[in-house]
Copies of this chain bind each other. A is one copy, B any other.
Amino acid sequence: MDRLRYKIAVLGGTGAQGSGLALRLSAAGHAVTLGSRDGGRAQRAAEQLSGRSRTRVSGSENPAAAAGADIVILTVPYSVQRGTVEAVLTELQGKVLVDATAPLMPPKVGTVQLPAGRSAVAAIQQLAGETVRVVSAFQNVSAQHLNELDHEVDCDVLVCGNDRDACDVVIGLCSDIGLRGFFAGPIENSVAAEALTSVLITINRRYKIAGAGIRITGPK
């Protein structure tokens, strides 16, 4: 059965997590554009990824990347999450925005510190309004694992959102890149994945490992 091939923009795609997702999505056959505030930087990072993938990766400034995409993935630090979305709000209309943000607050990134006591991704759904279908995903997947293409990522993805069809699209993307995505409830449930990011950082430190993850048990 043919899989759908999407045009996907990864904003913040020059960072470790964005690059890892872009690499895997590109290797799975999707048409990926890296977005950055600095278009030249995005192009250089895209050229590097293209050398590792069977599909060419493009790079451009965030608004142009978002404008050309069916699906936009956001992988930026929490401190610039809102500003990045505001800068592409026009380009996001009618699209799926996959937000991978966890609200880490340096220096205590191993401590859960939810902004205003709620999900950072739910706040973006509120900002963008219902004409943008926001889906929370990928908070718990280690960038290091994503960037090693021949490495099986031992981590599931909690997928939250108010639009079930959009969630199913993202669960399909997970499957395309070798991950299991699970529908995990409405957008406010993203709190679980966001808080888990700090827990996994704590576990990495306490048990002296890199890239702890989670698996959901029960479903076959």
Q: Which residues of A contact B (CB under 8 A)?
A: 110-114, 116-119, 154-155, 158, 182-186, 188-189, 191-192, 195-196, 198-200, 202-204, 206-207, 209-219
CA distance A211 to B186 in the complex (A): 20
13 intermolecular pairs with C-beta atoms under 8 Å apart: A110-B185, A111-B189, A112-B192, A114-B117, A114-B118, A158-B199, A183-B203, A184-B199, A192-B192, A192-B195, A203-B219, A211-B218, A213-B217
> How many copies of this chain are found per oligomer?
2
Q: How far is the CB of A167 from chain B (nearest CB, A)?
A: 10
Q: Which residue of B lies closest to A184 (CB)?
A: B199
Q: Which residue of B lies closest to A218 (CB)?
A: B212
A188 partner residues in chain B, CB cutoff 8 A: 111-113
A212 partner residues in chain B, CB cutoff 8 A: 216-219
Q: Which of B111, B189, B202, B215 contacts A199 (CB 8 A)?
A: B189
